[in-house]
Amino acid sequence: MEKETADNYVKAGKIAAEVREASRDIVTAGKGYMEIVEKIEKMIRDSGGEPAFPVNISVNDIAAHHTPTKNDTTIVKDNDIVKIDVGVHVDGYIADTAVTVNLNKDYIDLVKAAESALEEAIKVVKPGVLLSDVSTVIEETIKGFGYKPIDNLTGHGLNRFDLHTEPTVPNVSFASDYTLKENQVIAIEPFATDGGGHVKDSENVFIFGLIEKKPVRNAEARKIIDFADSLNGLPFAERWLPIDSLFKIRLALRELRERGVLHDYYVLREAKGGMVSQAEHTLIVKDKPIIITK
């Protein structure tokens, strides 16, 4: 890995870690989702990075891909379990990290299950290790706390302007002869639940990504394509779009989705309504891994 590339990853990781830790104090009962995510995204930019994706605030049985809409007035409530998932990029080099801010004393061990699974998985990471061994550690650690790993959410590789590349890092045991390679950048991302151990798409989509540019008639749709194209393939939120009218935004988004211009990041819920915790770090695979988001 070239020094400039490594430096950009490390800088992105430092920013991501700082804002992740700050979010522990930002997330409090009575505070609005919008206020929380906008404050975190501003911190990213003020620190010299850019959001690699909209800050996710996924609460209770919602596992991932939730971010506020324009004019959202939802607030954090007492006893919520709040996952904050943060992505930062510096010149396209991405650090991805997450924390569960737990406001419910009944779920302390659920949060520990995901955090411990992350810690134990990182201990086995080095070049030549079977990827399946990392996944086995995650599953066994979470089950050791009496919970289930979510079997259809995974960690993932990271490349420049690419959030999800090889390798996929399952949170459950699987058979594979794939081995980790030196200098790979991977995000390990355990999810633990007291539900069924599986997520499903909800009906809501608030985050999108550009698949390909196509000609469209709608002026707002063209603006959205141009905006998405400026992000070099990284996801964006409905609330980021530089269009004042929510009605016009949603009309244009519907056209773009129907034409296959955009990828939908559906809000993901635990299939049986279980509570969900999450923990995540990004690391560079070495004999002693560089945890850039620590």
Question: 202 with 236: CB under 8 angstroms?
Answer: no
Gap between the Cα atoms of 174 and 134, Å rounded: 10
3-state helix/strand/coil string of 33-96 = HHHHHHHHHHHHHHCCCEECCCCEEEECCEEECCCCCCCCCCECCCCCEEEEEEEEEECCEEEE
Nearest CA to 55 among 41, 72, 71? Answer: 41
As annotated, the active-site residues are 85, 96, 156, 164, 189, 280
Gap between the Cα atoms of 204 and 206, Å rounded: 7
Nearest CA to 11 among 83, 122, 92? Answer: 92
Gap between the Cα atoms of 206 and 53, Å rounded: 12
3-state helix/strand/coil string of 167-236 = EEEECCCCCCCCECCCCCEEEECCEEECCCCCEEEEEEEEEEEECCCCCCCCHHHHHHHHHHHCCCCCCE
Exposure string over 199-220, b if 16+ CB within 10 A, otherwise e:
beeeeebbbbbbbeeeebeeeb
